[in-house]
Amino acid sequence: MCKLLDHKIVAIARGIDEDHIIPTIQALIDGGINAVELPLSHKCKEAYDKTLKIIKKVHDTFGDKIYLGAGTVLSPEEVEKAAEMGAEYMISPNMDVEVIKKTKELGKGSMPGAFTATEVLTAYNAGADVVKIFPAGNFGESYIKALQGPCDFIPYAAVGGVNADNMKSLLDAGYNMVAVGGNLVNKELVMKEDYKQITELAKKYIQNV
C-alpha cells in the first residue's frame, strides 16, 4: 500500500556520500521528517552503482523507521533495481508510462514528474499515486490553482524551488505534499557535519506544515 500521501514532506538527499548519509538521515528523523528520497546518479555506471548501494545501506540501517524512496528513476529496469535495494516508492523527473506501470506492478508508490494537463492525466491514468509538478516553486500558487480546475481529483506534490518560506502557501494553494532538496538537506552543512542545524531546518519545515 502506497504511503506517500501520509507524508507532507519528502527530504531529497541528493549527492550525499556513503560516509555522511546515515547521520544526515538521522538528523532529519530527529527533526520530525522520516520520508526520504535518495536520487539515482546517472553520471556514470560507477556513480549509479554507488547510489544503489547507498539506498541499500539506508534501508538496512533504518528499516521501517523511514519511508525510503528512490529518485531520478528513468527506466523499468531502474525501478526493479531500486526496489531490490529497499526503495518503497519511485520518483522521476519525467512522465514515463512504462516506469509507472513497472512501479505499480511491484507494489511500490509512484510519483512521476509532469507539468502540462496532458502529462498529469496520462501519469494518473497509468497508475501514478501522486503527480510531481516540477519546478513548482518557480511558478508559485497560480499554476496549481489553474491545474486543479479540471484535475482536482489528482494528488499533487510540489517539487523544485520549495523552501520553508513558500511551502505553506504551496500546500494551501492545493498541493498535497512537497519534496525539498538542497534547501533542507544542505550539502554544505552535511560536509561540515553540522547535523544539528539540519535537524533545526527539518523542525522549521514541520512547523510550517
Residues tagged active-site = 37, 132
Query: What is the distance between the alpha carbons of residues 99 and 114, in angstroms, rounded to a whole number?
Result: 13
* Residues 33 and 206: beta-carbon distance below 8 Å: yes
Query: What is the distance between the alpha carbons of residues 58 and 75, in angstroms, rounded to a whole number?
Result: 22
* Residues 27 and 20: beta-carbon distance below 8 Å: no
Number of Cβ atoms within 10 Å of the Cβ of 71: 27
Query: What is the distance between the alpha carbons of residues 1 and 39, in angstroms, rounded to a whole number?
Result: 22
Query: What is the distance between the alpha carbons of residues 143 and 64, in angstroms, rounded to a whole number?
Result: 35
Query: What strands, in cross-sheet order, belong to the sheet with 156-159?
Result: 109-111, 89-91, 67-71, 35-39, 9-12, 177-180, 156-159, 131-133, 113-114
